[in-house]
Chains A and B, each alone.
Chain A
Amino acid sequence: MKFTSYISIAYLAIFLPAVILLYTILPKKVRPFVLLAASFTFFWFISEWLICYILISIVSIYLIALWLNKLKDKRNALVKEAENKEQKKAIKKKSGRNQLLVLLLGVLINIGILAVIKYSPFFFVNVNLFLKLIHSSARVSVPAFAAPIGLSFYSLQAVSYIHDVYKEKIKADKNIGRVALFMSFFPVIMEGPICRYADTAEKLWSGERLHYRNVTFGAQRIAFGILKKIVIADRLNIIVTTIFKDHEAFNYDGGLILLGAILYTIELYTEFSGTIDVVIGSGEMFGVTIPENFRQPFFAKSISEFWQRWHITLGTWFRDYIFYPVTMSKPMKKMTKNCRKKLGRDYGPLPASIIAFFCVWLCNGLWHGAGWEYIFFGMYHFALISLGSLILPLSNKLLAKLHIDRHKLPYKIFTILRTALLVCIGEMIFNSRGLHDALGMLKTLFTRFTFKSIFDGSVLSLGLDGHDIIILCVTLAIVLTVGILKERGKDPRELIASTPIFVRWPIYMLLVVYTVVFGAYGAGYIPIDPIYANF
């Protein structure tokens, strides 16, 4: 059995039902081990011997956390015995330094593995480029590593675990099984969401029995995720690939490039959020609440709001483990204090947060891939967000002068569309074949923008016919409706569940039949590989 995606017969029709069956028939005490064994089996199917890497990570964070705990216990005991405040302070300071060193060791191991496997080839390629640039004949050999699946995701979970123990948000876990299951739970191992120990570990290990409602609600969420992926994303894949691959050779105009950017963004959203629906639905079946990764991102009114709604768990990870530590560090605090005096209340905190934003967006770009186009992608968002904070006081004044109300619908729609457009351009950079390609597309977008190829029908020659376009529009309307309902705080699944059986059963059946009939699979379609699994 080979898994390439959660949306596959192997996972949905064989693996998941088998795990559910075993989980149900075995006693409560054994159930956590069923999940753990299933997770390791899953990992083995995908990465075989590369499973060693995650084992190293698990053992390392388990030991580091216990070590941190020991240091904390020792400190507490010494503080209790201390005679005066000075002594207590000295003990705390010394222990704090030791704890920090232990934490850094843990970070070094986990981020170190990630860095070596994922970034060293990129680093050495650039060293060679540099050597060529300075006309040196020396070259270093570029190493190649096979990366285990999910490396970028579980490494961040590992760091969050030891950091949270360090910050005393959680206690170090004495049960290595629970740590291992938190790290490797099979639905989240490939594409996230990036979980926190405090959110999932306890529940995962509880071995609670399955509940009918959880299983059916989970199944519904999975079905909707599959619909998004195979009706929309796989269908768009054809035209998107054509536009991004051939735009240079066939000299596509700016209108077609923009269309490609918009369609790619929709493809990415439906592919990633569809897969996450399958992931969260799988977790829900076992009664585990996996954190949400998307909250209707295209209703965002600014880029920073967009990133609070898109790939949420990555954003919050960067916020908690990079942005806060940077802004809260001593030199930054000092700088903010000084700046407040010189620049005033509005602009005072800006320099420190801009530096922190820079770190966050550099890491965000690099996390998505080792390549200059990804760094460019990060910097693009850094520039937009920094610019946004810089001009906010100005734009507030301008809006007041023009008597425009931020809370009125037309202005809201304007900001939503503006944000979506900026996001699409960002994703275009993201999907380019390199920095040069990205810049080329940007240039075309701004210098040769016409709607000619869209209106003269040549867009129909790119792999989608009229039937496909109708199905795309209908399905996007369904996804949009679900999004609007959720935005208004209503759960579509609850709404459907509250209807009588002769209404809800046909709806559920329609969901499956619609996907089976209108899915872009089989002869003539090439399913996309999970986009985020490669990061």
Chain B
Amino acid sequence: MDKKVVFRKLAGAAIFILLLALVLLLLSYWFYPQQSEDITMQDVKPNGLLAEEDNTIDVILFGDSEAYTAFSPVQMWRDEGFPSFVCASSSQYISLTESFVHQALEHQKPKLVVLETYAFYRKMRSDNAFITRIENMFSIIQYHNRWKIISPIKMKSADYTWKDDMKGYKYAKMTTKGQNKQHMIPTDKIKPIPETNAKYVERIVEYCKQKGVQVLFISTPSTKNWTYEKHNAVVQLAEKTGVDYLDLNLQKEIKIDWHTDTADAGDHLNFRGAKKVNAFLGKYLAETYHLKDKRNDPAYAEWNALIPKFEFLTSEK
């Protein structure tokens, strides 16, 4: 074929694709939620944070299912009096954690951000990262379903009034007996954190520091998911980023009984395990980070009202 014709056709195709991209970008702009309350956290429980009053939460904890089964803000409130929230979703990728952190810090100015460390090891698939990048560029892909609510003149924003009574904690009732064996055997070996994931963690820490928020890594007790090799890797990363690290697997005084305290034989904690963890953790956080006791602050009256509900839910019925 004539070279000129080939060139003309290729140029035509390129122009078409560029025009299409432009149309999609314009639509993305139109569909993108105008108010930040509108940006959802893609999961019901962490969304509860968006309804909390601005600058009222002192500790925000991020992570996957390990985090939402282990951290219980209402218990820590009852015992120590500082307000916290768990922004966790199941199988959370560290890339999602990053966007959660950004969204959370838009309206809250906590003293401390906690990152649960098991999510550091969830390897991101390469096409996942690719898809996320495309989605970020063309946000129409993420927000396309807003065609149901937007009007041509004024965009209606969703109303985030739903609060989570357990502040992100997911109560696990079941017990599947695990084994009381020593799963943290000291060693010098290291199980490296995937490189991309480590970069994400570093970026998150950097962002928090810029915002003047302290960061703490916590490993929740799990015989199935945690080892000394992983512990060593997190120690290294904590040193590199200048962050504190608390490995609950090594805290003897928590006294997890793997026969009764786990929902699924050592993978996640159930409500009994969570109680033990939060009794320890609440005290630790309050003391280490000098968190104020706000139980008598009238602005937090709502929080006190949640205590009976929490106690009923987690009682041995």
Residues of A whose CB lies within 8 Å of any CB of B are 1-2, 9-10, 13-14, 212, 216, 465, 467, 505, 508-509, 512-513, 516-519, 521-524
Contact = CB atoms under 8 A, between A and B. Distances in A.
B302 interface: no
Given A216-B13, A517-B27, 8 more contacts: A1-B127, A467-B148, A509-B20, A517-B144, A518-B144, A521-B144, A523-B40, A523-B145
Contacts of A508: 16, 20
Given A508-B16, A509-B19, A516 B140 contact: yes
Interface of B: 9, 13, 16, 19-20, 23-24, 27, 31, 40, 42, 125-127, 130-131, 134, 140-142, 144-145, 147-148
B144 A519 contact: yes
A208 to B, nearest CB: 13
A524 B20 contact: no
A522 B16 contact: no
Contact of B127 (A14, A512, A524): A14
B127 A517 contact: no
Contacts of B134: 9, 13
Contact of B19 (A10, A216, A505, A523): A505
Given A10-B127, A14-B127, A513-B27, A518 B147 contact: yes
Nearest to A510: B23
B16 A524 contact: no
A516 B127 contact: no
A521 B143 CA distance: 10
B9 A212 contact: yes
A-B pairs with lowest CB-CB distance, top 10: A467-B148, A212-B9, A517-B144, A517-B147, A509-B20, A9-B131, A10-B127, A1-B127, A509-B23, A516-B144
A516 B141 contact: yes
A235 to B, nearest CB: 11
Nearest to B9: A212
A522 B144 contact: yes
Contact of B142 (A509, A519, A522): A522
A197 B127 CA distance: 35
A516 B24 contact: yes
A61 to B, nearest CB: 35
B17 to A, nearest CB: 10
A524 B149 CA distance: 15
A190 to B, nearest CB: 18
5 contacts: A508-B16, A509-B20, A516-B27, A517-B140, A524-B145
A256 B317 CA distance: 41
Contacts of A14: 127, 130
Nearest to A520: B145
A509 B15 CA distance: 12
Contact of A512 (B20, B142, B148): B20
B42 A523 contact: yes
B248 to A, nearest CB: 33
Contacts of A212: 9, 13
Contacts of A13: 134
A13 to B, nearest CB: 8
B16 A513 contact: no
Contacts of A518: 144, 147
Contacts of A509: 19-20, 23
A467 B130 CA distance: 31
A513 B23 contact: yes
Given A518-B147, A522-B145, A513 B24 contact: yes
